[in-house]
């Protein structure tokens, strides 16, 4: 590895007289029995065991096998990383409680260091922490996961991004997008579009619905009907109420932009149609709010999940 040639093992006592004296890191990296010292760019010495580093990193394993001019009791390895980042990296290599991350920038830097030193098995544990930032920064999580070829993490981020209108994604600029091929980003946008079509199509093909809700069971003749009956799951044609079809029309438009369950269960989407039902029909007035809420959170949401599960996402990472 190219980085190996940049690291030279030297005696701790051979430091330049112009360099500030180094300080020993806090536990557990202050063990006097450790056989290697990693000296950070801010002059902190991490006393570590070569066997632990070798198990975590093929890079260090190879370096420790390189022949040395003379045997050194406590060799010092200069590191380009600062102590805060190196400490987090090393804590993942040692047994005990794993560190947590306050922000995505810190996590990304730790992942970069682990990639640099070929800490693949440890890095797989670290990347799980990406998902903690899925709600607030899904596009950054997607780009970072894609950069490190983590398919499962990238897919989870892609699904979370369905909550964002596709035009918002196109207009969002983040530096992490520079790390992935344009083709990968294009596949993300295409996945969003296809999910929008799959979810929206549910409002056009009602064979998954049953006839138990008030918009099908209402018998008030004055309650406005839709122009055409709908063929439902029982194979029969059923007349439905106009206010419900207007809800489906609104849901279709909204799902094309945000193909998620949260879209169709949003009270802002449902309320106008419930109000319309209340004003047009004494029978619908009794059950419209309850039935529509139950329908949106139940059967409709289940069908959206089923439809989205069939949309493939091959990022070719």
pLDDT at 6: 39
Residue 254 in tokens: 């909204």
Cα dihedral 76, 42, 176, 88, rounded to 10, equals 70
pLDDT at 71: 67
- Distance, in Å, from the CA atom of 214 to the CA atom of 67, rounded to the nearest integer, reads 82
Strand-pair partners of 74: none
**How do the residues of the chain divide into helix, strand and coil, expressed in percent and rounded to 5?**
60, 10, 35
pLDDT at 181: 95
pLDDT at 74: 83
pLDDT at 21: 86
pLDDT at 19: 60
pLDDT at 67: 79
**Which of 116, 107, 181 lies closest to 141 in space, CA to CA?**
107
In which region does residue 168 sit, left (phi positive, over 0), alpha (psi from -120 to 50) or beta (all else)?
Answer: alpha
Distance of CA 279 to the CA centre of its chain: 43
- Distance, in Å, from the CA atom of 13 to the CA atom of 39, rounded to the nearest integer, reads 12
Averaged pLDDT, groups of 10, the chain, 317 residues long: 40 47 94 95 96 95 82 85 97 90 96 95 93 96 96 96 91 92 96 97 95 96 94 96 97 97 96 96 95 97 97 93
Residue 313: C-alpha distances to residues 72, 81, 123, 187, 306 (Å): 53, 36, 24, 8, 15
**Which of 181, 186, 183 lies closest to 170 in space, CA to CA?**
186
pLDDT at 7: 42
pLDDT at 70: 66
DSSP-derived secondary structure for 176-189: GGGGS-HHHHHHHH
Q: Which helix (H) or strand (E) holds 237?
A: strand 237-238
Residue 218: C-alpha distances to residues 53, 82, 129, 274, 286 (Å): 72, 70, 51, 14, 11
Note the pLDDT tens digit of each residue in 58-103: 999 999 888 776 666 788 999 999 999 999 999 999 988 789 999 9
């Amino acid at each position: 590895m190219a980085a190996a040639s940049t690291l030279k093992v030297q005696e701790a006592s051979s430091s330049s007289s112009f360099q500030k004296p180094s300080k020993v890191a806090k536990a557990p990296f202050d063990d006097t029995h450790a056989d290697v010292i990693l000296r950070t760019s801010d002059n902190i010495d991490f006393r570590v065991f070569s066997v632990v580093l070798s198990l975590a990193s093929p890079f260090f394993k190879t370096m420790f096998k390189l022949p040395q001019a003379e045997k050194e009791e406590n060799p010092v390895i200069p590191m380009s990383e600062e102590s805060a980042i190196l400490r987090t990296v090393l804590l993942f290599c040692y047994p005990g409680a794993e560190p947590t991350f306050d922000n995505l920038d810190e996590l990304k830097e730790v992942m970069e260091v682990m990639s640099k030193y070929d800490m693949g098995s440890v890095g797989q544990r670290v990347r799980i922490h990406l998902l903690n930032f899925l709600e607030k920064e899904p596009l950054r999580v997607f780009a970072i996961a894609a950069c490190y070829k983590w398919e499962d993490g990238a897919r989870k981020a892609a699904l979370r991004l369905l909550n964002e209108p596709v035009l918002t994604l196109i207009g969002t600029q983040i530096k992490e997008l520079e790390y992935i091929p344009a083709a990968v980003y294009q596949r993300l946008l295409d996945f969003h579009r296809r999910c929008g079509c799959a979810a929206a199509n549910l409002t056009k093909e009602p064979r998954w619905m049953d006839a138990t809700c008030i918009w099908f069971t209402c018998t008030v003749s004055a309650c406005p009907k839709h122009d055409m009956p709908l063929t439902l799951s029982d194979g029969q044609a059923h007349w439905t109420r106009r206010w419900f079809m207007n809800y489906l029309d609104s849901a279709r438009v909204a799902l094309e932009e945000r193909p998620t369950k949260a879209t169709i269960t949003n009270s802002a989407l449902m309320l106008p149609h419930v109000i319309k039902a209340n004003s047009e029909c004494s029978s619908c007035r009794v059950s419209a709010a309850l039935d529509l809420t139950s329908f949106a959170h139940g059967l409709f949401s289940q069908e959206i999940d089923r439809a989205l599960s069939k949309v493939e996402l091959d990022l070719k990472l």
